[in-house]
C-alpha cells in the first residue's frame, strides 16, 4: 500500500479504536483463561475456593498414571500396531516429500505407540480409571460419528445439488435440526428412542421387534447418542459439501461424460478430488467437535448406563463441578486442548499444502 | 436447469420419427424428475418426523397422549400446553433471559468483530500481523478448555447469576473476526481511496462505504452469533446456579428428569417448541445468510 494514501498512514493509536475493544475482551475472556487453566492444572484447586495449593504435576500424574505400572509389548497390541503402521506410512511418505512436518508426525506416533504400552500391573490400578473409560468412549464416539456424519452430509449434498429443481428447498429442510438448541434435540430424541412410547419402538413393532431401551442398554446407548448427534449436526456438513460441489469445475464433468465415464466413475474421479479440500476441513472439524461431545450425553444419559457414554468433557465437568476438584479438571482441559490443537495443526498444514 | 415437460399435453408424434425419440427422452426426464421429488420429499419427511411429532404432541391434551402418543397429527387439539408452559413454569422467565442474553451477545459480537475485521484487513497499523496471528490462534482454543478458569474468575468477582456474566465471556469470537477480516480484505482498496481523495476520514469511509458493503457479511455473522448464543449450553450451565437466571437451553435440559414421566408430555413438548421457535423462525427468514455464514467461517468463500 502506498504510504501517501491516508489509509497507508494508519497509525497505531487511531487503529486501536477499531481493534482495541475486541482485543481487550479477547485478552480477558480467551487468553487470560487459557493461561490460567495451565496454572490451575498445577494446583489443588477446590471449587469453593478453600484450598489453592501448588502440587506440581500431581494432577497430570493422577490423570495419566496408576500404581504398580508395567510396560509390555502385548498391551493394546492391535491399537498400537495400527499406530505403528500409520507412523510407517507417514514416514514412508516423508522420505519422498522430505517434509519435516511428516517426519515429526511419524515420530510422534511412534512415541505414542511406545507410551501406550504402560498399564497397571496385576496388583495395580489407574489413579483415575474413569478418565481412561471416558477417553475410550470419546474415541468411540468420534470414530463412529465422523464417518457417519460425513457420509450422510456428502450424500445429502449430492442429492440436493442434482440437476433437478428444488434442491435448495431440500437443503433447508435437512439443515433445520442444526439450529435447534441441544436441549430440544435431545428432548425429541429421548422420546423417539423411548421404549415405552417412542415412535421408533412403534415403527419397529411392525416388524415384530420388541421395544428396546436404546438409551438404557450399554450396547446401544453410545450408538443412540451418535444417531442423535448425526441428526442434529449433519446440516453443517451438508452446507460445507454443497459449497464445495459448486466449486467443482463443470467442464471436468463434461470431459468425463465425453470419455464415457459413468456416474460412479464421475463421482470417484471428478467429484471426490474436487472436494478434497472441503473433505479434509470437515474431517478435522468433525474430529474436534467429536472430542468435545458433552451436551448430548449429559442430558440424555448422564454418562450412563454404567459409564457406557461417559466422555472426556463430561468427566472433566463432573470432576470440576460434582467432585469440586477444579485443578484436576483444568489438567483434563489442557489435555483436551493439546489433542485438539494437534488436530487443528494438521488441518492448517493440509490447507497450506492444498494452496 | 432441466426444462420440465408439461405432462398434461403429451406431444402427438408418429412412431419412428426422430421427434418421437426426443419426446420419449423428455418423457423419461420428466418421469425421472417426479421420481426424484417423490424420493426426496419422503426422505425429508422422515428426517423431520421427530420435529413434526414434537409439534403434534405439544398441541394435544395430556389425557389423549396417555392413550396414544404416537400420532403425527394432534389427537385432541389444544393450546393449553403453551399457556401452561408460560404460566406454570419458569419457561417464560428463561425465554426472557435468553432474549436479553442473545440480543446483547449478538449485537456486541457483531460490533466488535466488524470493527476489528475492518482494521485487520484495511488499516496497516504496526503490529497488525502479529496481533492477527494471536487472534487466529484463538480459533484453536475450544471453550471447553477455558470455562473452568472463567468460572473461578467470575466467581471471584461475585458475578455469577448475572446477565453480564452470561454475555461478556461469549462475545470474544475469533471466528467472527476471521470472517469479517476475510470479507473486508476482498473489498478493493480503490473504494476507500476514492473517498479519501474526496477528503473523507477513516470513520467516514468505515461508516459510509465499508458498512453498507459489508451488510451481507454482517448479517451472516449476526445470524450465526444469534444461533450460537441461543443454543449455548455449557457456559450458562456452569455459571448459573439460580434457576431463575437460566437461559432456555440449559433451563429445558434441567427438566430432563420429567421427560421420562409420561404424565404431562404435552406440556413438556410445548416447552421444547417454545425453546426452538425463535431460532427456527430466524433461520427460516434468514436461511440464505446463515448457510452462507457457515461457508464463510471455513474460509472457503
- How much is the ipTM here? 0.89
CB contact under 8 A, A176 and B51: yes
pLDDT at A261: 79
Q: Which residues of A258-278 are buried (b: 16+ CB within 10 A; e: fewer)?
A: eeebeeeebeeebbeebbebb
Domain that holds residue B202: 90-297
Question: Domain A128-354: which topology?
Answer: MetI-like fold (1.10.3720)
A241 to each of A147, B193, B287, how far by Cα in Å? 14, 37, 17
Query: Whole-angstrom Cα distance, residue A255 to residue B22?
Result: 24
Q: State whether B206 and B269 are in the same domain.
A: yes
pLDDT at B69: 78
Query: Whole-angstrom Cα distance, residue B65 to residue A192?
Result: 14
pLDDT at B10: 42
Query: Whole-angstrom Cα distance, residue B228 to residue A180?
Result: 10
pLDDT at B98: 96
Predicted confidence pLDDT, tens digits, chain B (301 residues):
333 434 444 444 444 555 566 677 777 777 888 999 999 999 999 999 999 999 999 998 888 888 877 788 888 888 888 998 888 788 999 999 999 999 999 999 999 999 999 999 988 888 899 999 999 888 888 899 999 999 999 998 999 999 999 999 999 999 999 999 999 998 888 877 777 777 777 788 888 888 999 999 999 999 999 999 999 999 999 999 999 999 999 999 988 766 666 678 888 899 999 999 999 999 999 999 998 888 888 765 4
CB contact under 8 A, A180 and B123: no
pLDDT at A273: 87
Query: Whole-angstrom Cα distance, residue A184 to residue B248?
Result: 10
CA atoms within 13 A on the CB side of A302: 9
Q: State whether B66 and B107 are in the same domain.
A: no
Query: Whole-angstrom Cα distance, residue B240 to residue A93?
Result: 51
Pick from A164, A192, A345: CB nearest B2: A164
Residue B271 within a domain: yes
Cβ-based contacts of A7 with chain B (< 8 Å): 122-124, 189, 192-193, 196, 202, 205
pLDDT at A138: 96
B187 touches chain A (CB under 8 A): no
CATH number of residue B170's parent domain: 1.10.3720.10
pLDDT at B14: 44
Q: State whether B37 and B165 are in the same domain.
A: no
B36 touches chain A (CB under 8 A): yes
Q: State whether B52 and B153 are in the same domain.
A: no
User: Hey, where are the domains in chain A?
Assistant: 69-125, 128-354
Q: State whether B63 and B95 are in the same domain.
A: no
Total domains present in chain B: 2
Q: State whether B74 and B186 are in the same domain.
A: no
Cis amide linkage into residue A305, ω under 30° from 0:
yes
Query: Whole-angstrom Cα distance, residue B271 to residue B269?
Result: 5
Cβ-based contacts of A329 with chain B (< 8 Å): 148
B240 touches chain A (CB under 8 A): no
B194 to each of A5, A10, B181, B188, how far by Cα in Å? 10, 16, 21, 11
Pick from A175, A202, A340: CB nearest B70: A202
Mean pLDDT for back-to-back runs of 10 residues, chain A (355 residues): 45 86 95 94 85 88 89 89 92 85 89 90 90 94 96 95 87 94 93 86 86 88 96 94 88 84 85 87 90 94 90 95 92 94 80 62
pLDDT at A3: 42
Residue B11 within a domain: no
pLDDT at A298: 94
Query: Whole-angstrom Cα distance, residue B296 to residue A114?
Result: 41
Cβ-based contacts of B249 with chain A (< 8 Å): 181-183
DSSP H/E element including B60: none
Cβ-based contacts of B282 with chain A (< 8 Å): 179
CB contact under 8 A, A181 and B233: yes
Cβ-based contacts of B121 with chain A (< 8 Å): none
Q: State whether B130 and B277 are in the same domain.
A: yes
pLDDT at B72: 86
CB contact under 8 A, B275 and A183: yes
Cβ-based contacts of A22 with chain B (< 8 Å): 112-113, 115-116, 135, 172, 177
pLDDT at A147: 96
pLDDT at B299: 65
Amino acid at each position: 500500500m502506498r504510504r501517501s494514501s491516508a489509509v497507508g498512514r494508519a497509525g497505531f493509536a487511531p487503529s486501536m479504536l477499531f481493534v482495541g475493544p475486541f482485543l481487550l475482551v479477547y485478552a480477558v475472556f480467551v487468553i487470560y483463561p487459557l493461561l490460567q487453566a495451565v496454572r490451575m492444572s498445577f494446583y489443588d484447586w477446590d471449587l469453593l475456593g478453600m484450598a489453592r495449593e501448588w502440587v506440581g504435576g500431581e494432577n497430570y500424574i493422577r490423570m495419566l498414571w496408576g500404581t504398580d505400572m508395567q510396560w509390555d509389548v502385548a498391551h493394546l497390541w492391535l491399537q498400537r500396531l495400527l499406530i505403528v503402521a500409520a507412523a510407517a506410512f507417514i514416514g514412508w511418505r516423508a522420505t519422498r516429500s522430505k517434509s519435516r512436518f511428516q517426519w515429526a508426525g511419524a515420530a510422534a506416533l511412534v512415541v505414542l505407540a511406545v507410551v501406550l504400552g504402560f498399564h497397571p500391573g496385576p496388583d495395580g490400578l489407574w489413579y483415575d480409571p474413569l478418565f481412561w473409560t471416558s477417553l475410550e468412549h470419546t474415541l468411540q464416539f468420534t470414530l463412529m460419528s465422523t464417518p457417519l456424519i460425513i457420509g450422510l452430509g456428502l450424500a445429502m449434498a449430492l442429492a440436493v445439488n442434482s440437476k433437478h429443481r428444488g434442491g435448495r428447498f431440500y437443503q433447508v429442510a435437512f439443515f433445520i435440526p442444526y439450529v435447534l438448541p441441544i436441549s430440544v434435540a435431545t428432548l425429541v430424541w429421548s422420546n423417539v428412542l423411548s421404549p415405552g412410547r417412542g415412535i421408533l419402538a412403534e415403527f419397529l413393532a411392525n416388524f415384530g421387534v420388541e421395544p428396546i431401551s436404546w438409551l438404557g442398554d450399554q450396547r446401544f446407548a453410545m450408538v443412540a447418542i451418535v444417531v442423535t448427534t448425526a441428526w442434529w449436526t449433519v446440516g453443517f456438513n451438508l452446507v460445507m459439501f454443497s459449497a464445495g460441489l459448486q466449486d467443482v469445475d463443470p467442464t471436468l464433468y463434461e470431459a468425463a461424460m465425453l470419455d464415457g465415464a459413468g456416474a460412479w466413475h464421475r463421482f470417484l474421479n471428478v467429484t471426490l478430488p474436487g472436494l478434497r479440500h472441503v473433505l479434509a476441513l470437515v474431517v478435522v472439524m468433525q474430529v474436534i467437535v467429536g472430542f468435545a461431545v458433552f451436551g448430548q450425553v449429559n442430558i440424555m444419559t448422564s454418562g450412563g448406563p454404567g459409564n457406557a457414554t461417559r466422555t472426556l468433557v463430561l468427566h472433566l465437568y463432573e470432576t470440576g463441578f460434582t467432585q469440586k476438584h477444579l485443578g484436576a479438571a483444568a489438567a483434563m482441559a489442557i489435555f483436551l486442548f493439546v489433542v485438539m490443537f494437534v488436530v487443528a495443526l494438521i488441518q492448517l498444514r493440509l490447507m497450506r499444502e492444498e494452496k | 436447469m432441466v426444462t420440465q415437460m408439461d405432462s398434461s399435453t403429451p406431444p402427438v408424434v408418429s412412431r419412428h420419427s426422430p421427434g418421437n425419440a426426443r419426446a420419449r427422452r423428455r418423457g423419461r426426464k420428466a418421469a425421472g424428475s417426479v421420481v426424484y421429488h417423490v424420493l426426496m420429499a419422503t426422505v425429508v419427511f422422515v428426517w423431520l418426523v421427530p420435529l413434526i411429532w414434537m409439534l403434534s404432541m405439544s398441541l394435544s391434551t395430556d389425557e389423549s397422549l396417555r392413550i396414544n402418543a404416537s400420532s403425527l397429527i394432534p389427537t385432541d387439539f389444544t393450546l393449553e400446553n403453551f399457556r401452561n408452559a408460560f404460566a406454570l413454569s419458569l419457561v417464560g422467565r428463561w425465554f426472557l433471559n435468553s432474549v436479553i442474553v442473545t440480543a446483547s451477545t449478538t449485537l456486541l459480537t457483531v460490533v466488535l468483530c466488524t470493527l476489528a475485521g475492518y482494521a485487520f484487513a484495511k488499516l496497516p497499523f504496526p503490529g497488525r500481523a502479529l496481533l492477527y496471528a494471536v487472534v487466529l490462534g484463538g480459533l484453536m482454543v475450544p471453550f471447553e478448555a477455558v470455562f473452568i478458569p472463567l468460572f473461578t474468575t467470575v466467581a471471584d468477582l461475585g458475578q455469577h447469576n448475572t446477565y453480564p456474566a452470561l454475555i461478556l465471556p461469549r462475545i470474544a469470537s475469533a471466528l467472527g473476526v476471521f470472517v469479517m477480516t476475510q470479507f473486508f480484505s476482498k473489498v478493493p482498496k480503490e473504494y476507500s481511496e476514492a473517498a479519501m481523495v474526496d477528503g473523507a476520514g477513516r470513520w467516514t469511509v468505515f461508516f459510509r462505504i465499508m458498512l453498507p458493503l459489508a451488510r451481507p457479511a454482517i448479517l451472516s455473522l449476526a445470524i450465526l452469533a444469534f444461533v450460537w448464543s441461543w443454543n449455548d449450553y455449557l457456559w450458562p450451565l456452569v455459571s448459573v446456579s439460580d434457576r431463575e437466571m437460566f437461559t432456555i437451553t440449559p433451563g429445558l435440559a434441567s427438566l430432563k428428569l420429567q421427560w421420562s414421566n409420561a404424565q404431562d408430555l404435552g406440556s413438556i413438548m410445548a416447552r421444547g417448541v417454545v425453546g426452538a421457535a425463535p431460532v427456527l423462525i430466524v433461520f427460516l427468514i434468514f436461511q440464505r445468510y446463515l448457510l452462507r455464514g457457515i461457508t464463510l467461517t471455513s474460509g472457503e468463500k
